[in-house]
Amino acid sequence: MLLLLLGCAQDNPFKADPEVQWEGGNAHPHIDIAGTESNGPGSFQFSDLDPGTAGIQDAVVLSFDKEIDPSTVTAASFEMVETEPGTGAVQFESISYYPEDGTAVLVGTFSDNTAYLLTVTAGSILDLGGNELDPNYNALYDGSPWDDRLIAFYCGSAEMRDITPPSVTGAFPNTGGGTNLLPHPRVFFTNGPMDVSQLTLDKFTLVRTSDSASVELELSFATGTEINVVPTSELSYGTRYTARLSAQLADSAGNYLDTNNDGLVWPNEPDVVWDFQYEDDSSTHATPPTLSEATLMPGNTSVHIEFEESLTGDDVVMDDATFIAANIQVTDDNGSIPIVFETGADPSAVNCLLQRYAEGTVTLFISCMVADEYGNLFDGNNNGLGGTPGEDDWLGVL
Amino acid sequence: MKILAMLVIVISSITIAQPQTFRSMSTSGLILDDLDRWFSGMLFTQPVPDRLLEVEGIRVYTGLSNLSTGADLVFDENADTRGSFLLGGSYVPLEASFGLGILAEFMDERFFDQITLLGPGGAPYLSGEGMVEGTWSEYIDTNGDGTLDSRHTVHETAEARTDSSMISAGLFGAYEMNESLRFGLGVSYMTISTEILDEDDNGSIAIADSNLVTGAETYTLNSNGNGLFKDDRTALGISLSGTGAATDVMDIGGMFMFTSISSDIAYNAELSGIEDFLPGQSGVYDYATWSGSEQYSVSPGGNRFGGGLNMAFRLDENWVLEASGGYYTTSLSGSSDQYSISMDSSFIETIASLIDSTIIDMNGSGSTDIDISDDLIAIGAKLTLDPSERFTISMGMGFSMIDLSNTVHNASSNILVETYSDGDAQFADPDDYVSTATWSQTDETTTTENIKRISIPVGLEFEVLPKVQVRLGASPAFVWEMETETTSLIDASPLVTHVVYGDGTEDQIVESPFETIDGTLVETDDNYTEIPYSYGVGYTPNDYIQIDLMGLGDSLNQWRLSATLSF
């Protein structure tokens, strides 16, 4: 009877209702395309769509990658200001959101030969799931200014406001084997020019790596594309130094420095940090070891590894105590292979006796924590600087 | 959750089991023996304790009575001797105005499941019941040099059994107010406990590979689990009855019963393990660990009540017309929000100076609601003729309807968080990620069963030799059966996986296609006729014992025997 009644009520007697609110998901929305109505997506030039009316009649078109809550697309979410030649605010005549294609259209009247900066205020626009825009793509809502979305426009011959963050193109010197005891540690920038007034010695430090002892510096020069310093006294042979440039820098337009060169600026953008090292003299032994040769021996029962001094290729005496399973691993198609380490007459070599038969692809991993007799850590990339996890690990198929 | 579906079956049967004598079984339930008169009552729906006064003297029901199941094959030496035993009796002093009856049943048993362990190559090497344990090894010459150089050893245990116990007891009394009015009162109690250890939940496995030359272990795996399903059910009931003489030739009786039912169902299972590719190598890792648990508990309860009327009309000295009607309804329900499942696992691997890790944390929770109803209505009349002490015939007509319904409503939601790090501490590392997957479902299963039966039974008993009665019975019936099972998906969300990588990029994957079983209906609508025949023999060698036989045939092994002591 129940089924009969349900059958009269609707074709399907079952109560399936899988419509839940997952459409918005929990990923942050982004403005993936911006442009003008007159010139299309990707163009930031306003052109007059209505010559019969005074001023440049055009609109900003923003395209979102997720469905947006239309109630959040209001005048309060946008701030448009003139950046050249004036500085005043511009009011949009209408703001509309079209859910069918996920675009917002901001209609306004603009002036010829004028540049504008549109700021989509952080936290103002939400998607259907209540998530804020995340312009810096760190999957977090950071607030202003980090999650303000800036877009520059222009009319006529006006120059658009620079909104591209400056980034680092290189930091030098950055290898071992150095010989100039009065080097010029320096960082090069692009997408600037940098605000030179911020390129000061309080943003640049140099320390001896082993004990963090500070090295006194002088500012050699600072330009929109480079900061260049020099120690006040000679550095030492056989010594490693660590240089650091603060990330808290901006270019002349106020854009924060993008230190990892990913085109985005996060609140926790890391400082620019790098090392360099001097070659040994007769009194020092700081040059790290590197890999000379690794061989899977016939029968697949052992791996023979030989080490040499980095950069020079000289003989080294390795520290046997660092030949442990935590520092040297061998894997095959079945996973990791237990190893018994065997050292012999050659102080620069070790035999890794495989405790089970290796099958398929055999891969050797050498950790940067392998050391020579002086404690110099392994230099896996053979640049004269050892001991950096990841960079100085070595792996290869035997 | 499948266990909950089983629950509805066992709960609904808790108060139905009632012993029936061989005499009534072999005469299609029309000719009642002493015990049937007061214990099975009207149409076998409930005790009618005032009828104790109809059984004068002492009756003793022991294991010889074969009443607990009626199926014990006493002459078959190979038959399983396990089962419950029943003890009881009735006592009505001669010319007394009161009577007492008691019936108790006990059962305690353990069943073991057959378990098979697999050895080298997946071939069975051990099969047994209860708890089994075994170890086997495989030695291999891995490099083909003519000597064995590795060993693979597996130690495995498994356990599976079911423990069941049952105690039921009833105490009944009857009192005759005067020659035309009597009352009866009874109380009964039943408890059933079941514990199940499933083979899938209870066991362990330990694997160790080693190098025979150096003795070094090259691989280990240890995993063990345990789980227990417990089901405790209790029913406490009272029954009232009374019979009065409406006229000189007509008695009218009534009855009422109430039973309170409670139960506790619980399931707990745990699992843990570790797999290590670099056992005994300090400071380096290539291992996986996992642990998980699943629990739920639910305590459905409810009651059953009902009653009936009976009228016996003596047409003359030899003819009796008896009409009865009974009804009871049972309602049980239970809710639980204590269902939970969790599984944590980690995979840790050393890659040079870095430690690559994947941590998985899965949690699920849910609730279950159960509603069960069981209604029965039975009406019938029979005409019994006793032309002599050596012959009795009874014919009747009855209608019964059983209406069963149970609904199980399940809701569950789950979240799985996977955190991966390659261990290099790289800022904004695109290789690292946190993945969050969610999914949920709410569904409902409703099972109904409706059986209507119109039967025209006939039974007779006649003495073929002194003290030997032959009994025959047939119960032709028209039966209408309808069973339905309806499942409905109330709500569901697809598996949605949201991934946030270390560099801030996000990815969202929705299960696509997202397929749902929105609803199903399985229905059987069966109409048929049946003519079950029954027969038996009763033998009363003296005044103190009555022997009843059923299952008579060529093979003595199939004979069933019941012996009742009387004084």
pLDDT recorded at residue B298: 83
Within 8 A by CB and 6+ apart from B284, the residues are A324, A325, A326, A329, A336, B278, B350
pLDDT band of residue B81 (cuts 50, 70, 90) is low
A240-245 and A226-231: which strand pairing? unpaired
At A80, list the tokens: 């448009």
**Residue A161: inside a domain, yes or no?**
no
Yes or no: say if A99 and A141 are a contact pair by the CB < 8 Å rule.
Answer: no
CA distance B146 to chain A (A): 14
| pLDDT at A11 > cutoff 80 | no
| pLDDT at A42 > cutoff 60 | yes
pLDDT recorded at residue B523: 94
Report the domain count for chain A.
Answer: 3
Spatial distance between the Cα atoms of B535 and B518, rounded to a whole number of angstroms: 51
Picking from B456, B451, B475, the residue whose alpha carbon sits closest to that of residue B526 is: B451
At B249, list the tokens: 């030739």
| pLDDT at B456 > cutoff 80 | yes
Task: Assess A17–B contact: CB distance below 8 Å, yes or no.
Answer: yes
**Residue B242: inside a domain, yes or no?**
yes
pLDDT recorded at residue B416: 92
DSSP code string of A11-75: S--S------S-TT-SSPP-EEEEEETTTEET--EE--S-TTSSSEEEEEEEEESS-B-GGG-SG
Same domain, A76 and A106: yes
Same domain, A346 and A255: no
Measured between its terminal Cα atoms, the distance across chain A in Å is 74
Spatial distance between the Cα atoms of B440 and B294, rounded to a whole number of angstroms: 17
| pLDDT at A301 > cutoff 50 | yes
B81 or A156: which leads in pLDDT:
A156
Yes or no: say if B481 and B428 are a contact pair by the CB < 8 Å rule.
Answer: no
Spatial distance between the Cα atoms of A255 and A266, rounded to a whole number of angstroms: 12
The overall pTM is greater than 0.80: no
At B525, list the tokens: 């609508």
Spatial distance between the Cα atoms of A200 and A198, rounded to a whole number of angstroms: 6
At B153, list the tokens: 């050893």
| pLDDT at B71 > cutoff 80 | no
DSSP lists the bridge partners of residue A140 as none
Domain termination site, one of A277, A304, A326: A277
pLDDT band of residue B79 (cuts 50, 70, 90) is low
Spatial distance between the Cα atoms of B220 and B42, rounded to a whole number of angstroms: 67
Yes or no: say if B32 and B460 are a contact pair by the CB < 8 Å rule.
Answer: no
| pLDDT at A17 > cutoff 70 | no
List, for residues B471-489, the tens digit of each pLDDT value: 999 999 999 999 999 999 9
Mean pLDDT of B263-279: 92
Helix (H) / strand (E) containing A163: none
Same domain, A364 and A268: no
| pLDDT at B18 > cutoff 70 | no
Mean pLDDT of A113-138: 93
Chain A residues 282-301 with CB within 8 Å of chain B: 299-301
Mean pLDDT of B506-528: 89
Strand ranges (E), B456-518: 458-465, 468-474, 477-501, 506-510
pLDDT recorded at residue A202: 94
CATH code, domain with A353: 2.60.40.1220
Whole-Å CA distances, B395 to A68, B36, B449? 79, 17, 29
List, for residues A251-297, the tens digit of each pLDDT value: 999 999 999 888 899 999 999 999 999 999 999 999 999 999 999 99
List, for residues B31-69, the tens digit of each pLDDT value: 888 888 888 766 677 788 999 999 889 998 877 676 655
DSSP lists the bridge partners of residue A95 as A106
Buried-exposed string A125-141: b where 16+ CB fall within 10 A, e elsewhere: bbbbbebbbbbbbbbbe
CA distance A168 to chain B (A): 15
**Between A and B, how many CB-CB pairs are < 8 A?**
163
Same domain, A182 and A205: yes
**Residue B467: inside a domain, yes or no?**
yes
| pLDDT at A8 > cutoff 50 | no
**Residue B288: inside a domain, yes or no?**
no
Spatial distance between the Cα atoms of B541 and B529, rounded to a whole number of angstroms: 39
**Residue B487: inside a domain, yes or no?**
yes
Q: State the Cα angle at A361 between A357 and A364, rounded to 5°.
A: 85
CA distance B488 to chain A (A): 6
pLDDT recorded at residue B21: 84
pLDDT band of residue A378 (cuts 50, 70, 90) is very high
| pLDDT at B2 > cutoff 60 | no
At A219, list the tokens: 């500012």
Mean pLDDT of B448-460: 95
**Residue B286: inside a domain, yes or no?**
no
Mean pLDDT of B341-358: 89
Contacts of B501 in chain A (CB under 8 A): 139
Peptide bond into B279 cis (omega under 30): no
| pLDDT at B361 > cutoff 50 | yes
Yes or no: say if B43 and B324 are a contact pair by the CB < 8 Å rule.
Answer: yes
CB contact under 8 A, B142 and A329: no
Mean pLDDT of B266-277: 93
Same domain, A36 and A150: yes
Yes or no: say if B15 and B190 are a contact pair by the CB < 8 Å rule.
Answer: yes
Same domain, A272 and A298: no
Within 10 angstroms of residue A222's Cβ, the number of other Cβ atoms is: 21
pLDDT recorded at residue B15: 46
Report the domain count for chain B.
Answer: 1
At A223, list the tokens: 């330009």
**Residue B499: inside a domain, yes or no?**
yes
Spatial distance between the Cα atoms of A390 and B6, rounded to a whole number of angstroms: 56
pLDDT recorded at residue A94: 94
Q: What percent of chain B has pLDDT over 90?
A: 51
pLDDT band of residue A13 (cuts 50, 70, 90) is very low
Task: Assess B513–A contact: CB distance below 8 Å, yes or no.
Answer: no
| pLDDT at B1 > cutoff 60 | no
A270 closest CB neighbour out of B279, B427, B514: B427
| pLDDT at B204 > cutoff 50 | yes
Task: Assess B244–A contact: CB distance below 8 Å, yes or no.
Answer: no
pLDDT recorded at residue A222: 95
**Residue A57: inside a domain, yes or no?**
yes
Helix (H) / strand (E) containing B505: none
Yes or no: say if B413 and B438 are a contact pair by the CB < 8 Å rule.
Answer: yes
Task: Assess A16–B contact: CB distance below 8 Å, yes or no.
Answer: yes
Amino acid at B129: E
| pLDDT at B560 > cutoff 80 | no
CB contact under 8 A, B503 and A262: yes
Domain termination site, one of A155, A187, A206: A155
B306 HSE (CA, 13 A, CB side): 22
pLDDT band of residue A3 (cuts 50, 70, 90) is very low
pLDDT recorded at residue A1: 32
Within 8 A by CB and 6+ apart from A61, the residues are A34, A35, A36, A37, A41, A103, A104, A105, A106
For residue A86, what are the domain limits? 31-155
Amino acid at A46: F
DSSP lists the bridge partners of residue B195 as B163, B230
Mean pLDDT of B378-387: 92
Yes or no: say if A288 and A375 are a contact pair by the CB < 8 Å rule.
Answer: no
> Of A24-28, A129-133, B90-94, B190-194, which gets the smallest average pLDDT?
A24-28
For residue B528, what are the domain limits? 2-280+293-566
Same domain, A264 and A355: no
Residue that is written with structure tokens 């040769």 in the block: A293
Residues in chain A: 398
List, for residues A70-87, the tens digit of each pLDDT value: 999 999 999 999 998 877
DSSP lists the bridge partners of residue B108 as B165
CB contact under 8 A, A13 and B143: no
| pLDDT at B73 > cutoff 80 | no
| pLDDT at B420 > cutoff 90 | yes
Same domain, A259 and A296: no
Q: How far is CA A73 from the centre of its chain?
A: 31
pLDDT recorded at residue A219: 95
**Residue A81: inside a domain, yes or no?**
yes
Mean pLDDT of A20-38: 74
Q: What percent of chain B has pLDDT over 70?
A: 91
Helices (H), B378-535: none
**Residue A283: inside a domain, yes or no?**
no
pLDDT recorded at residue B297: 85
Domain termination site, one of A155, A175, A201: A155
| pLDDT at B16 > cutoff 80 | no
Q: What secondary structure letter does DSSP report for B37? A: I
Dihedral sign, CA of B26, B32, B35, B41?
Answer: positive
Same domain, A309 and A245: no
List, for residues A186-222, the tens digit of each pLDDT value: 999 999 899 999 999 999 999 999 999 999 999 999 9
| pLDDT at A300 > cutoff 80 | yes
Spatial distance between the Cα atoms of A90 and B418, rounded to a whole number of angstroms: 47
Chain A residues 18-47 with CB within 8 Å of chain B: 18, 20, 22, 25-28
Within 8 A by CB and 6+ apart from B96, the residues are none
| pLDDT at B76 > cutoff 60 | no
Contacts 24+ apart (CB under 8 A), B415-419: B415/B362, B415/B363, B415/B364, B416/B360, B416/B361, B416/B362, B416/B363, B417/B360, B417/B361, B417/B362, B418/B358, B418/B359, B418/B360, B418/B361, B419/B357, B419/B358, B419/B359, B419/B360, B419/B361
Same domain, A117 and A173: no
Tell me the average pLDDT of chain B.
87
pLDDT recorded at residue B87: 85
A45-46 and A149-155: which strand pairing? parallel
pLDDT recorded at residue B70: 55
CA distance A358 to chain B (A): 9
Among A4, A15, A137, A147, the strongest candidate for a mutation testing the B interface, having the largest count of B CBs within 10 A, is: A15
| pLDDT at B255 > cutoff 60 | yes
pLDDT recorded at residue B75: 54
Amino acid at B45: T
Spatial distance between the Cα atoms of B501 and B362, rounded to a whole number of angstroms: 19
Chain A residues 116-155 with CB within 8 Å of chain B: 134, 136-140
Q: What secondary structure letter does DSSP report for A147? A: T
> Of A202-216, B28-42, B195-209, B510-524, which gets the smallest average pLDDT?
B28-42
List, for residues B284-307, the tens digit of each pLDDT value: 899 899 999 988 888 889 999 999
Structure ipTM over 0.95, yes or no:
no
pLDDT recorded at residue B80: 59
| pLDDT at B74 > cutoff 80 | no
Same domain, A36 and A127: yes
- SS3 for B248? coil
Dihedral sign, CA of A277, A280, A286, A288?
Answer: positive
Give the CA diameter of chain B. Answer: 106
**Residue B287: inside a domain, yes or no?**
no
